[in-house]
Chain A
């Protein structure tokens, strides 16, 4: 039986009705109470928002490849730069089924913390997120059903990798406008949250309660940058710029960067800036004029993104002038995304006029991020791929849980037409391996002395 009320245009009307009303997520039922009860969103959204087949009236089916030939059918479901990549640069995206079981969109302990701490977060007088008791946040998404842009951005900023700490080893490939590889790096990206922790030991790292996180990036290949490292120290107070220092191994010297230098690449060739990290690479209150633009379905890489059957988790590439610009990508129809914008009010020299994030309300993760230049023209895209680390019978475990993490991401400066693609690997030269919630990370990687040792 076809319920006429849920015709093709129903969800569009429903989203329009919610515009500007501070309504929570969900169409047929509120999303988060449903998740708390069953983790199943089947009863929250009509079919047309959970199936590309229904959404496109059969023009695109699950399992189909989106190419230049059919991308116009789903143009409204893609961020503009992704559309251009498919339409003009030979990128292809495979459609996979929409994930209805929300437990597959989180690390299990992070989802538990989110549900456990729901309703306890608030903004203090300075707009920093605090717990109900006024102390720093205690873990999980502070605003699981974000209704404002600031709430949504707070979810993304307070915990990047949804673990107390994480070490990601990755390979970066920087592609020039001619499609050729300009630079390649192997690097290690390490995050250690000092507040909002969800593991044993409580929500705060002792002695670091004024901080939010430490973030170290160091390079292992090629030789000329091997040992070069950056250490960024974030404060809980999101009005303050992180301390940023770099270590130059050849001279065994620390170089202090201006704290608001967030729109420069760390090393030559990177299209990715610190400001782009996780779509929320800067303290959230150094940005302003937050706006919810709309709610809408989108295509996002939220599942089946891990290439576990490759020995080092590398993924095939395709597209671009040399057929190597894009990593193979699976995307699913995300039923509801919050589209938010913010402006870099704390950066008088920023080349960016605003950023726009498409945030999947199911797990409050950005599935698309664009910056626009000060004239309003498209500037850069940073597109992540998330999911459980399982493929067939192959799994990667974090403790007793199947690992959930990002697997690849793509930064694309559409103006200079340079791209950087990052693939999270199992291991890179130097013996570094990806992992989460690893003991002793702070001492090993997160101090000035530690990064000095890395280049020794």
Chain B
């Protein structure tokens, strides 16, 4: 075991923890494929900074102009920036055009320095007002805000470095009259990295809490050290494995490894509790350890099997980050069999026998307040599932089920926020996105892609005419975009200017020669990178960018519906290009929602099927599988009801929880059901069996559930990443519901339906020690070998 651990430990050298944002999107979705084929559209590498006057004045003051000038220069110093793609009212890219008798002058709006005198400031204001694109996209309509856009080179960008550089700029340039808002995907990634760095701290806090809880509960070396050691082994195996296979670990999903550590604790504690009971009964630590291994290996392994199924089936959703996550956590969960189920009794047999066994198992008078309280609580809980109360309890569950199913119908897919659902509503990033959306067309777009088949399509009449028709169609819908932009908006302006300036020259003749002339005139003396937001470098592909007031689901649905309708009108396939829907942050958001909506059912069905088969085989009863599946599915219904009540939608944050909820939640039921069968065989009385099971196994379930809650709940409070926070909260909720259902609903179902398998002698699962306690040592050994 130590050798294997050492081998896995070597893999830790290659462990990489990083977020690959594109891996958070479903790779098979047509929107994601469109995004991957045309990654430059929708400004995924652009940092958008907005300088906003907060004192009611406009930006045409010397101090604000100086800030915009200096910020445009300072962002150029951030490593990885594309020096040709820094655009603001202060850069040479923002131009105004003057027609004179001897030619066309296209000059920067600001001269060689930021304006300082009233005359210079007035001149800049005049130039801005004469430049429609600058007026729409670089200076707000009310004149109180200015935008600085900086695009980074993907090969060179280090999001952490960009984030630090931009944060320094915010500190430097914010004052009593100016607020700086920063948005854009590199900033979002920077925030994810920034808060992701807290993961280690949160890990430390939660592990410490779990350790302290264990210490207080066990108060003996073996009871504390064993779960800690087996969890350490399993952690090294899990992380070492991903190191060896060179798959980066997604920090946004880090709560799940912690869950697995907690699961390892949980399995170990279950086995330890059983060991204590046996030790109290027979007094020999070695024999107690062997027997606890024999009786716990089957339910433990089945529990882990369900964990593994739950985790692996997450991979059904074709989201690369989830696929990697499924492999990583599925393997780790599987390795809990050797590291936890098998190692726990081995370590217990090697470590000194605890002196407080009687107290721990609750036989002693000094068993302590907690034990007494738990015994009483669990005994009363048993009353809910037995006797006259059983039917009332059943009625309550039926009611709860109906209510949950009703709420399920109101569950929304998607969690639309202005900005990113990875972060909290009041995070700096989401606040910035809302502020920018308020003053400008915004940062969230839907990109309708014109994919070239032949030639440079922005120099072709059909492409530009189609773009214009498409924009006009969309703008005339009931819920039009707040702004649209394409190459077709620039070319007519070039046509007008080069033809002498009269607006009657704006419309382009519908022939390639005229369009090519206007496009060439536009591009003369300019790098194509200045137009990368609407056409790629080679100008073979282009996009129509659509901005919307918000990205709420009904807005997105309407936008996509309108886009599809208008695309049908202009035609998808053209001789030299085809139109593809869609890219941009709105499309990517929708791709996740579509995938979650579709695959949640596949994943749930898959887990139910696998677990049904597994449990039917090991219990040799389909009824047993049903008894176990009913509570975990009800737990999920109740979880979704909770989400509806909390105003949460189903999204990529919650998708894994549904799968893990069933996989992990069913453990409690398995332990409970197995114990119940054994107690029934002893007592031949269902009520007594349920009561005994609850005060023994139920206590262990309660204890481990509490332990896992302690391990996960701090994420909800400590993580600034809403993604992690949501996952932490939902995991705690689903595990808690599962716990209560295992303690109440599983016994209730057994009590009400009295299935035959409960008294069957032919289960593969058994926590019975009868045959082991009475047999001679060599027979015990043989049984254990078997």
On A, residues with C-beta under 8 Å from B are 176-177, 182-183, 223-225, 228, 230, 245-246, 248, 250-251, 253-258, 260-261, 264-270, 348-349, 351, 373-375, 377, 379, 415-417
List 5 interface pairs A-B (beta carbons < 8 Å), by A numbering: A255-B104, A257-B106, A261-B525, A268-B523, A268-B528
A345 CB to closest chain B CB (Å) equals: 12
Most B CB atoms within 10 A — which of A254, A261, A351? Answer: A351
* B525-A248 in contact (CB<8A): no
B112 within 8 A of A: yes
Given contacts A265-B527, A415-B153, A416-B153, contact A182 B520 (CB under 8 A): no
B762 within 8 A of A: no
B108 within 8 A of A: yes
Instruction: Identify the closest chain B residue to A265 (Cβ).
Output: B527
Partner of A253, one of B103, B153, B155, B156: B103
* B520-A375 in contact (CB<8A): no
Given contacts A176-B537, A251-B517, A261-B525, contact A379 B103 (CB under 8 A): no
A262 to B702, CA, bound (A): 73
Chain B residues with CB below 8 A from A374, complex form = 73, 76-77
Instruction: Identify the closest chain A residue to B495 (Cβ).
Output: A251
Chain A residues with CB below 8 A from B521, complex form = 248, 250-251, 253, 255
Chain B interface category by residue count = 35 or more
Instruction: Identify the closest chain A residue to B107 (Cβ).
Output: A258
B70 CB to closest chain A CB (Å) equals: 11
* A248-B520 in contact (CB<8A): yes
Contact residues of B: prevailing secondary structure: mixed
A373 to B82, CA, bound (A): 10
Instruction: Identify the closest chain B residue to A224 (Cβ).
Output: B516
Instruction: Identify the closest chain B residue to A226 (Cβ).
Output: B520
Chain A residues with CB below 8 A from B73, complex form = 374
B532 CB to closest chain A CB (Å) equals: 11
Given contacts A250-B517, A374-B77, contact A264 B105 (CB under 8 A): no
* B112-A351 in contact (CB<8A): no
B388 within 8 A of A: no
Instruction: Identify the closest chain B residue to A346 (Cβ).
Output: B112
Most B CB atoms within 10 A — which of A250, A253, A261, A374? Answer: A250
What does the 1/0 interface line of B104-145 toward A look like (CB < 8 Å)?
A: 111110001100000000000000000000000000000000
A144 to B456, CA, bound (A): 48
Known: A416-B82, A416-B84; 14 extra A-B contacts, CB below 8 A, are: A248-B498, A248-B524, A250-B498, A251-B517, A254-B102, A255-B525, A256-B106, A258-B108, A264-B525, A268-B528, A269-B528, A373-B76, A377-B79, A415-B153
* A417-B155 in contact (CB<8A): yes
Interface residues of B in 137-169 (CB under 8 A from A): 153, 155-156
On B, residues with C-beta under 8 Å from A are 73, 76-77, 79, 82-84, 91-92, 102-108, 112-113, 153, 155-156, 456, 459, 498-499, 513-514, 516-521, 523-529, 537-539
* B527-A177 in contact (CB<8A): no
Chain A residues with CB below 8 A from B499, complex form = 251
* B83-A379 in contact (CB<8A): yes
* B527-A373 in contact (CB<8A): no
Partner of B103, one of A176, A245, A260: A245
* B104-A256 in contact (CB<8A): yes
Instruction: Identify the closest chain A residue to B456 (Cβ).
Output: A224
How many A-B contacts if CB must be within 8 Å? 115
Instruction: Identify the closest chain A residue to B102 (Cβ).
Output: A254
Chain A residues with CB below 8 A from B103, complex form = 245, 253-256
B478 CB to closest chain A CB (Å) equals: 39
* B525-A260 in contact (CB<8A): no
Chain B residues with CB below 8 A from A266, complex form = 524-525
A225 to B521, CA, bound (A): 9
A239 CB to closest chain B CB (Å) equals: 14
Partner of B113, one of A255, A258, A348: A348
* B83-A373 in contact (CB<8A): yes
A269 to B531, CA, bound (A): 12
Given contacts A224-B516, A246-B525, A248-B498, contact A351 B84 (CB under 8 A): yes
Given contacts A248-B498, A258-B92, A349-B92, contact A224 B520 (CB under 8 A): yes
Chain A residues with CB below 8 A from B79, complex form = 375, 377
Most A CB atoms within 10 A — which of B73, B527, B537, B539? Answer: B527
Q: Which 9 pairs across A and B sit closest by C-beta, in order of nearness?
A: A250-B517, A351-B83, A251-B498, A254-B103, A268-B528, A248-B521, A256-B103, A224-B516, A256-B105
Given contacts A182-B538, A377-B79, contact A225 B107 (CB under 8 A): no
Instruction: Identify the closest chain B residue to A379 (Cβ).
Output: B83
Given contacts A253-B104, A258-B107, contact A268 B498 (CB under 8 A): no
Most B CB atoms within 10 A — which of A270, A348, A373? Answer: A348
Chain B residues with CB below 8 A from A257, complex form = 106, 525
Chain B residues with CB below 8 A from A251, complex form = 498-499, 517, 521
A89 to B227, CA, bound (A): 53
* A267-B523 in contact (CB<8A): yes
Instruction: Identify the closest chain A residue to B498 (Cβ).
Output: A251
A228 to B524, CA, bound (A): 8
A373 to B79, CA, bound (A): 10
Chain A residues with CB below 8 A from B524, complex form = 228, 246, 248, 255, 266-267
Chain B residues with CB below 8 A from A348, complex form = 112-113
Partner of B459, one of A224, A258, A416: A224
Chain A residues with CB below 8 A from B156, complex form = 415
Chain B residues with CB below 8 A from A176, complex form = 537-538
Partner of A264, one of B102, B459, B518, B526: B526
